Amino acid sequence: MDKPGTTGRVIPALDRAREIKPCPLGAGESCCRVCAMGPCRVTESGKGARVGVCGATPDTIAARNLCRMIAAGTAAHSDHAREVVQTFCAVARGTAPGFELCDREKLSRLAAQLGCGKAEDPAVLAREVGKLFLGEFGRQEGELALAALAPPRRLERWRRLGLVPRGIDREVVESLHRTHMGVDQEALHLLHQGTRTALADGWGGSVIATAVRDVLFGTPRPVRSRVDLGVLKPDCVNIVVHGHEPLLPEVLVRLAADGEMTARARAVGAAGVNIAGMCCTANEILMRHDVPVASHFLQQELAIITGAVELMLVDVQCVMQGLAAVAACYHTRLVTTSEKARIKGARHVEFSPATALDTARELLYAAIDNFPNRRRVDIPPQAVELVTGFGQESIRHALGGRFRGSYRMLNENIINGWIRGVAGVVGCTNPRAASGASHGVLVRELVANDVLVLVTGCAALACARDGLLVPEAADSAGPGLREVCEALGIPPVLHCGSCVDNSRILMMAAEMVRAGGLGEDLSDLPVAGCAPEWMSEKALAVGQYFIGSGISVGLGVYFPGADSKEFAAQVFEGLTQDYGAAWFFEPDPQALARKILAHIEEKRRALGIEG
Ligand code: SF4
Ligand code: MSK
């Protein structure tokens, strides 16, 4: 079947990546297209212009581009957070009948932490917390209230550097203003604004999104489930939920378990209704309800190609437009559900908190009614076990040992060398990298060297497919980490949730500082982050907020603008002076692992715990 934008047949992302060569102008070189005197391609050496028509230098252009990407990533995470808070406020007001305040204990803890009063009625408390959270988006002056969650030393450093975010929206808007033609034209100054914006994501939007979803849907606890296309069931009505917003999927999962739906499915010849996740919506419902995962970002089109998906629901972020062309070749109904996002060729059924139950019911009926339209079904049999559900709270509990309720035991294991350090492996899967294979190579190397690994997003799902998210994976860990994992019955690679849940990793690092023994700032910890197959601008926002928080981050694939030597010197070294952390770039997963290990050992030496 001919589809526009293809070579006469429908091809999934991997084939398209082979056909389209990455644009060399956009990657390493400094390409600016923020005004109509350009686009300008400038280089520091060799042939070609050294500055743009306006005189902009390569380092300014590279910093401007990075700052814009960070702003876009922050906007994505934080707009998602706003959506969740608005639903949360609707629940508190009693106008969202499909939802409830599930974790009231966490709500009380949050309210106490944020100084939102002690009202006995959870709805009143939720209204107060919701009001404070919504205020964080529009704050014009002062400091983001949530910045106070950072260790005092870090907060002092931000204050000294003028990096404490004001409001989330304000920082995003200011980044776009400063990167407009002819405004901020000093690379380091632009990078600092990129950092302030990213911090508004990490300590603001992402913390808010994670906290509110925990209160609404439950704080994750370790559960087992399965991942890969083999979780689709040949005899069931299969619904794949894809994107990032768990609001509608939460209701759908509950309704699908209803006897009425099973009876309806049986009436059309199916055994029942099977829901599977994709990308970060998958991580959300997996963590809380052990709903199996069809797979990560790169496999979204392949799920439809099994011929077994009656309905694919998509909301926001990381949804490939190519899905519409693929779905048109099968019986799969593709439905967009966010007011913000539509795809030509997909049906639109809009989610609203007030009508979520009715919408979910309508969608379930549509999926069931579509079952008899199936043609050929070909589901690959692979499905791998995984253990998930490691948030700030469950890690505290799992690793707490005799210090239950604190991170002291984790710190002691690091101090005595059983665990050398902690690495966050996050971000996407990218056909320009090894398409999910980098994660296995990288993580196995880290684990073999006694590094505890925390994973989120599609990186987590790639690791899960590689069999790394089960306690048995401790067999391939170094002797110290293996001993700890076996004693506690945990995997050496802990699944911490969706990409917004990188905030959980940030909070865990803050807890490690609070627990004592590993310095007084996040930059003292033997901890590093990386995104070996990043593709989304959100990954750059995440990386920059970790660096701004004092934790160095490695990037694979390519580093935008790195051909500018001046810019590279700033992002790979210069930032360390101000933040105590910087970026590093390494596309080879084995070499990336070695760099992380070297970084961790360097931090250990600085702490005097090299042994
Ligand atoms: Fe070219 Fe300067 Fe315009 Fe960028 S802002 S496109 S470098 S003229
Ligand atoms: S979904 S941002 S591909 S992790 Fe969060 Fe996966 Fe990356 Fe999207």
38 sits in the region (left: phi over 0; alpha: psi -120 to 50; else beta) called: beta
Looking at the DSSP bridge assignments, the partners of residue 527 are 422
Q: What is the 3-state secondary structure (H, E, C) of 53-113?
A: CCCCCHHHHHHHHHHHHHHHHHHHHHHHHHHHHHHHHHHHHCCCCCCCCCCHHHHHHHHHH
User: Positive or negative, the Cα torsion across 596, 597, 599, 600?
Assistant: positive
**Of ligand 1's atoms, which has the minimum distance to the CA of residue 52?**
7
CATH 3.40.50.2030 fits 229-373, yes or no: yes
| CB of 536 shorter than 6 A to ligand 2 | yes
Closest ligand relative to 538 C-alpha = 2
**Of ligand 2's atoms, which has the minimum distance to the CA of residue 536?**
2
How confident is the model over 215-250, as pLDDT tens digits?
A: 999 999 999 999 999 999 999 999 999 999 999 999
How far, in Å, is the centroid of ligand 2 from the Cα of 8? 29
Cα of first residue to Cα of last residue in the chain, in angstroms, is: 63
Closest ligand relative to 30 C-alpha = 1
The CA distance from 234 to 507, in Å, is 41
> Which pLDDT score is estimated for 398?
80
| CB of 280 shorter than 6 A to ligand 2 | yes
Which residue among 536, 538, 557 is best mutated to probe the pocket of ligand 2, counting the most ligand atoms within 8 A of its Cβ?
536
| CB of 543 shorter than 6 A to ligand 1 | no
> Which pLDDT score is estimated for 8?
40
> Which pLDDT score is estimated for 339?
95
Cα–Cα nearest to 309, from 248, 374, 381, 265: 374
**Of ligand 1's atoms, which has the minimum distance to the CA of residue 42?**
7
> Which pLDDT score is estimated for 436?
63
Closest ligand relative to 60 C-alpha = 1
| CB of 51 shorter than 6 A to ligand 1 | no
The CA distance from 112 to 363, in Å, is 39
Give the tokens for residue 237. Answer: 């009505």
| CB of 442 shorter than 6 A to ligand 2 | no
In sequence order, what are the residues at sequence separation of 6 or more whose Cβ sits closer than 8 angstroms to the Cβ of residue 236? 265, 270, 271, 272, 273, 274
**Of ligand 1's atoms, which has the minimum distance to the CA of residue 39?**
6
**Of ligand 2's atoms, which has the minimum distance to the CA of residue 539?**
2
How far, in Å, is the centroid of ligand 2 from the Cα of 427? 6
Directed axis angle between helix 206-217 and helix 279-289, to 10°?
40
> Which pLDDT score is estimated for 399?
78
CATH class of 58-217: mainly alpha
| CB of 56 shorter than 6 A to ligand 1 | yes
The CA distance from 233 to 381, in Å, is 10
The CA distance from 256 to 234, in Å, is 17
Q: What is the 3-state secondary structure (H, E, C) of 345-414?
A: CCEECCCCHHHHHHHHHHHHHHHHHHHHHCCCCCCCCCCEEEEECCCHHHHHHHCCHHHCCCCHHHHHHH
The CA distance from 3 to 587, in Å, is 33
Residue nearest atom 4 of ligand 1, based on CA coordinates: 32
Give the tokens for residue 111. Answer: 């309210």
Q: Backbone phi, then psi, for 384, in 5-degree steps?
A: -115, 145
How far, in Å, is the centroid of ligand 1 from the Cα of 35? 5
How far, in Å, is the centroid of ligand 2 from the Cα of 536? 7
Directed axis angle between helix 122-138 and helix 58-93, to 10°?
160
The CA distance from 530 to 596, in Å, is 8
Positions in the chain whose pLDDT score sits under 50:
1-10
Closest ligand relative to 542 C-alpha = 2
The CA distance from 199 to 588, in Å, is 28
The CA distance from 499 to 469, in Å, is 17
Position 567, amino acid: F
Position 60, amino acid: T
Contact 534/430 with Cβ under 8 angstroms? yes
| CB of 430 shorter than 6 A to ligand 2 | no
How far, in Å, is the centroid of ligand 2 from the Cα of 246? 14
Domain ranges of the chain: 58-217, 229-373, 387-607
Give the tokens for residue 474. Answer: 């401790």
Side-chain-facing half-sphere of 36: CA atoms under 13 Å: 0
How far, in Å, is the centroid of ligand 2 from the Cα of 500? 9
The CA distance from 515 to 305, in Å, is 49
592 sits in the region (left: phi over 0; alpha: psi -120 to 50; else beta) called: alpha
| CB of 439 shorter than 6 A to ligand 2 | no
The count of residues in the chain is: 611
CB atoms within 10 A of CB 151: 22
Give the tokens for residue 484. Answer: 């700890």
Q: What is the ipTM of this complex?
A: 0.95
Which residue among 458, 495, 504, 505 is best mutated to probe the pocket of ligand 2, counting the most ligand atoms within 8 A of its Cβ?
458
The CA distance from 126 to 103, in Å, is 11
Give the tokens for residue 436. Answer: 């999910």
The CA distance from 192 to 548, in Å, is 9
Contact 248/255 with Cβ under 8 angstroms? no
Give the tokens for residue 569. Answer: 């010197």
Closest ligand relative to 61 C-alpha = 1
> Cα-atom radius of gyration of the chain, to the nearest Å?
24
Give the tokens for residue 246. Answer: 């768990």
The CA distance from 459 to 462, in Å, is 5
Cα–Cα nearest to 104, from 214, 245, 249: 214
Q: Backbone phi, then psi, for 216, in 5-degree steps?
A: -70, -40
DSSP 287-318: HHH---EEE-GGGHHHHHHTT-EEEEEE-SSS
| CB of 54 shorter than 6 A to ligand 1 | yes
Contact 454/496 with Cβ under 8 angstroms? yes
| CB of 76 shorter than 6 A to ligand 2 | no
**Of ligand 1's atoms, which has the minimum distance to the CA of residue 55?**
2
Cα–Cα nearest to 331, from 311, 347, 360: 311
Cα–Cα nearest to 525, from 602, 416, 595: 602
Candidates 3.40.50.2030, 3.40.220.10, 3.30.420.40, 3.40.50.620; CATH matching 387-607 = 3.40.50.2030
Closest ligand relative to 185 C-alpha = 1
Whether 387-607 and 229-373 are alike in CATH topology: the answer is yes
Looking at the DSSP bridge assignments, the partners of residue 275 are 239
| CB of 545 shorter than 6 A to ligand 2 | no
The CA distance from 534 to 554, in Å, is 10
Residue nearest atom 3 of ligand 2, based on CA coordinates: 428
How far, in Å, is the centroid of ligand 2 from the Cα of 499? 6
Cα–Cα nearest to 297, from 284, 281, 309: 281
Buried b (16+ CB within 10 A) or exposed e, 183-195: ebbebbebbbbbb
| CB of 499 shorter than 6 A to ligand 2 | yes
| CB of 80 shorter than 6 A to ligand 2 | no
CA geometry: angle 14, 18, 21, nearest 5 deg: 130
Contact 601/593 with Cβ under 8 angstroms? no
| CB of 493 shorter than 6 A to ligand 1 | no
User: Positive or negative, the Cα torsion across 221, 224, 228, 231?
Assistant: negative
